[in-house]
Structure 1
Amino acid sequence: MISDGMSNGTLSMANLYSKNILGRETNWMNLYLENKASRALMDTASASSIVTDSAAASSSFGGGFRVNNGSLNVGPNGEQHLPIWQKFKKKGKKAGCVTSVTITHATPAGFCINSEKRSAEPEIAEMYAQFGFDVMMGGGDEFFNADKRKDKKDVYSTYKAKGYQILKNRSDLKNIDKTKPVLGIFTTGALPYSIDRSHTPELQNTPTLAEMTKAAIDQMKDHKEGFVLQVEGGKVDWSAHANDIAALIHDQLAFDEAIKAVIDFAEKDGNTLVIITTDHGNANPGTIYGNSATQNFNSIANYKFTNEYLLNNIHNDFNTQQLKDWVFENNQFSLSDEEANHLLNFYKGLEKEEEGLYNYKKLPYKIYSEFQKKRNNVGWISMDHSGDYVELAMYGPGSDQLKPFMKNTDLHYLMLKAAEVENNF
């Protein structure tokens, strides 16, 4: 289980929000409080940098070697490292991935395939079929759909020819044929942010991460040789890149619901190792000291939507009062006229456009997060990945192998050892 881009501050704030607003500890923290999980810190560096990207990070887990940022299980000199889900498939196990972003994205791909470039998502969509993974669920219709691919290739038909059932919406999860492998592609691009999904009825035909996780486990749990599953909370990373606090907390809590689904199964099963971690930190968000720090942090409960949604719905013909009203409607705080005009200048082309990894529409995320910071006491060090050591937890048989400090590559060999799969490929 990988909450992509989860800094320690993200884990802390999600638990703080859960306690203060929802009245309960998170499932992750409960594993610690009830002394059910082993715990360590992990070094996440890649071959090319102390700060990894998701492709190199997943390759460390998936291939057992550090590679350069941007590549998937291909070493600096072109070495091809056999991905771990292929190793488990060769030993007769079922293997799957579920994610809240595109299923062809770096984190699932790092467990499954080799590619010099993480951006080769159209090709990765075809590779998955070649290796016959048993359950693959997430977004990314544009990489499978002939109408959306540049080469007009119908990749769905490739899967159907191999006996896959294709799932397209949430209700399809209730009617899965257990005798067939599953490809679930529920949207173009990534799945919606959890907070936007909860407040937008038309987005609720997409499943939650926990729902996909339960369905994947149900599909593979009775296989006599066992199964392996990767669960990625991919939009935790995207929201950290955007310094979007509501998106971040609610997607971390959605990942935490998936933890519950996994632990509920593992407790009953008694023979499953659960590894819960992240691939790297991102933006290192955290709470800031102040007289009203608790009250200000708790005000995040008033946020109805992500900053992405809020900022996408501001137009250059808004006047100052319209913008202030829109912000108040969605975040329950009042901008000053100066702040509102600063934001409006961006939409009128008078401010420099913001860049950012997942900022396709060049929205003013940084400007707006600074306005929020004054009201919610949450700060960010950047809008990109960080090289800090990260949290690593394990539950179940094999968790005794966890040492207090690990390299990301160590997990590859620990998984093989725990499953009694010899590394002789």
Structure 2
Amino acid sequence: MKVLAKWIFTIAMVLSSTLTSSMGTCEATVNEENRDIKNIIFLIGDGMGVSFTSGYRYFKDDPATLELESTEFGPYLVGQQTTYPNDPRHNVTDSAASATAMATGVKTYNGAIGIGNDHSKLKSVLERAKEKGKGTGLVATAQITHGTPAAFGAHVSQRKSMSAIADDYFQDLVNGRHKIDVLLGGGSDWFIRKDRNLVKEFQKDGYSYVTSLNELKNDESAQVVGLFAKRGLPKMIDRPSNVPSLADMTTSAIERLNKYNTGFFLMVEGSQIDWAAHDNDIVGVMSEMEDFEKAYKVAVDFAKKDGHTLVIATADHSTGGFTIGAQGQYNWFSSVIKAVKRTPNYMAAKIVNGAGVKETLTKYIDLPLTKDEINLVERAARTQNVKNIDNTIEEVINLRTLTGWTTRGHTGEDVNVYAFGPGSERFKGQIDNTDHAKIIFDILK
């Protein structure tokens, strides 16, 4: 009996010690999660489904090692989110509806920008941050008036109304002040128009205006409009040196917004992962994934140094039905993608403008092409149609890499969620796209 009593006492002491240790760990975790969150950086890889983050890992893999190395995203994976809209016509979302859900916490119909199904204005987390006196910013590689950034800073019934979105950025004030301090991306056509020059109006109110990487780096204004293309920026792989990368714009936005003692909210979109996937262009997709990864690293590196910054990264939906492997083959040759130095669209434009087919393909594809592959592109070139030539070069690359696509539209699967910094635990598990806004609103209380 004494032996039994001693054994029970020993077990009880171990359990008590474990419980005490557990409680201490729990308390530390809670304190960690509830540290002051001063800044929020919300990154959206438009169209970046799970196959894209997986495929990008293949693309970045070191062939000299057995393992498939992680990318910058991997260590911070916390869960997934559902993406469906509230639309009687569709149960697969578009960017506008999904971004509105993530920005406002309310599901809506495809095409809606910051409004509900009843067309009422929905307050966004960016607007709430501005109400709290924080700095705010929108960064994108698309037109800055495109569906995703627009949902955070405007309220219109249809995403195609980009002039109205640009107008909203200027004239829809919060507490008598402009709601967005930093606007960086493409889309000058919607700011400098025949009926209105919004750039001059912003400048009159104290904003600087920049149009190149050098101007962006040399300008130190806390409020800036940076428009680096008439519409969307060139893909990263095609981008000239005077056009900033997504990482350049993210760095500049953080440096400016970090001047606000009250903190900031910044939304960054890797817009053209989606555009390339709509085009079934795997070269463009991997180029844009790399652009987005570098911007994500900028945000996380800042957050690590700052200690009071929450970084969230996710997608609004997936696009294209991209598959890693096709034609029943158990392979995917990302090495082919690395051998292509420009997007198929870039090459197609060169051919239409008079460059020879074989000369162009040889210049920008560092692989020996077959006679049949060259003939295929030459037949398309006779149409003198950029789209036809582009699609044909994409077909050659997709066949070579064993890349599969099921659609040129969106798909409805869940997408990954990544988070780092204080409060990141709140995004764990399977959440809905509306939960992002709900959590951020709660943080901003």
Identify the TM-score tier after normalising by the shorter chain.
Answer: 0.7 to 0.9
User: Partners in 2 of 1:388 and 1:370 — Cα distance?
Assistant: 25
Residue 331 of structure 1: how far off its partner (Å): 1.9
Aligned to 1:98: 139
Kindly provide the amino acid, as one letter, of the partner of residue 156 in structure 1: V
Give the counterpart of 1:47 among 86, 102, 121.
86
The superposition leaves residues 136-178 of structure 1 with CA deviations (integer Å, 9 ceiling, x where unpaired) of: 1001111122xxx242x21111101111111111112222334
Give the counterpart of 2:357 among 302, 306, 323.
323
- The worse-fitting range, judged by mean Cα deviation, of 220-229 and 284-293 is 284-293
Aligned to 1:283: 320
Residue 5 of structure 1: how far off its partner (Å): 0.7
Residue 370 of structure 1: how far off its partner (Å): 2.4
User: Partners in 2 of 1:192 and 1:315 — Cα distance?
Assistant: 18
Aligned to 2:11: none
- The worse-fitting range, judged by mean Cα deviation, of 64-73 and 76-85 is 76-85
DSSP-derived class of the 2:168 partner: helix
Residue 329 of structure 1: how far off its partner (Å): 2.8
Aligned to 2:210: 167
User: Partners in 2 of 1:416 and 1:244 — Cα distance?
Assistant: 37
User: Partners in 2 of 1:22 and 1:92 — Cα distance?
Assistant: 51
Residue 86 of structure 1: how far off its partner (Å): 1.1
Residue 340 of structure 1: how far off its partner (Å): 4.1
Aligned to 2:351: 314
How is 1:115-194 mapped onto 2 (pairs within 5 angstroms)? Answer: 115-130=156-171, 131=173, 132=178, 133-145=180-192, 149-151=193-195, 153-178=196-221, 180-194=222-236
How is 1:1-400 mapped onto 2 (pairs within 5 angstroms)? Answer: 1-20=43-62, 25-29=70-74, 32=75, 37=76, 39-48=78-87, 49-130=90-171, 131=173, 132=178, 133-145=180-192, 149-151=193-195, 153-178=196-221, 180-197=222-239, 203-288=240-325, 293=331, 296-315=333-352, 322-333=356-367, 335-349=369-383, 362-400=387-425
DSSP-derived class of the 1:249 partner: helix
User: Partners in 1 of 2:422 and 2:349 — Cα distance?
Assistant: 47
Residues 22 and 304 of structure 1, relative CA distance in 2, 3 Å threshold = farther
Residue 406 of structure 1: how far off its partner (Å): 1.0
Residue 105 of structure 1: how far off its partner (Å): 0.8
Kindly provide the amino acid, as one letter, of the partner of residue 406 in structure 2: I
Residues 345 and 128 of structure 1, relative CA distance in 2, 3 Å threshold = same
Is the contact between residue 155 and residue 168 of structure 2 (CA under 8 Å) also seen in structure 1? no
Kindly provide the amino acid, as one letter, of the partner of residue 301 in structure 2: D
Residue 403 of structure 1: how far off its partner (Å): 3.6
Kindly provide the amino acid, as one letter, of the partner of residue 51 in structure 1: V
Is the contact between residue 100 and residue 108 of structure 2 (CA under 8 Å) also seen in structure 1? yes
- The worse-fitting range, judged by mean Cα deviation, of 97-106 and 15-24 is 15-24
Aligned to 1:356: none
Kindly provide the amino acid, as one letter, of the partner of residue 207 in structure 1: P
Normalising by structure 1, we get a TM-score of: 0.86
Residue 6 of structure 1: how far off its partner (Å): 0.8
User: Partners in 2 of 1:217 and 1:257 — Cα distance?
Assistant: 14
Is the contact between residue 44 and residue 50 of structure 1 (CA under 8 Å) also seen in structure 2? no
DSSP-derived class of the 1:237 partner: helix
Kindly provide the amino acid, as one letter, of the partner of residue 286 in structure 1: T
Residue 418 of structure 1: how far off its partner (Å): 2.6
Residues 158 and 316 of structure 1, relative CA distance in 2, 3 Å threshold = closer
Residue 85 of structure 1: how far off its partner (Å): 1.0
Kindly provide the amino acid, as one letter, of the partner of residue 401 in structure 1: R
The answer on 1:416 being equivalent to 2:430 is no
Is the contact between residue 100 and residue 190 of structure 1 (CA under 8 Å) also seen in structure 2? yes
Kindly provide the amino acid, as one letter, of the partner of residue 223 in structure 1: Y
Is the contact between residue 329 and residue 402 of structure 2 (CA under 8 Å) also seen in structure 1? no
Unaligned runs of 5+ residues in structure 2 are 1-42
User: Partners in 2 of 1:68 and 1:115 — Cα distance?
Assistant: 12
- The worse-fitting range, judged by mean Cα deviation, of 96-105 and 82-91 is 82-91
Aligned to 1:200: none
- Determine what percentage of the aligned residue pairs are the same residue: 31
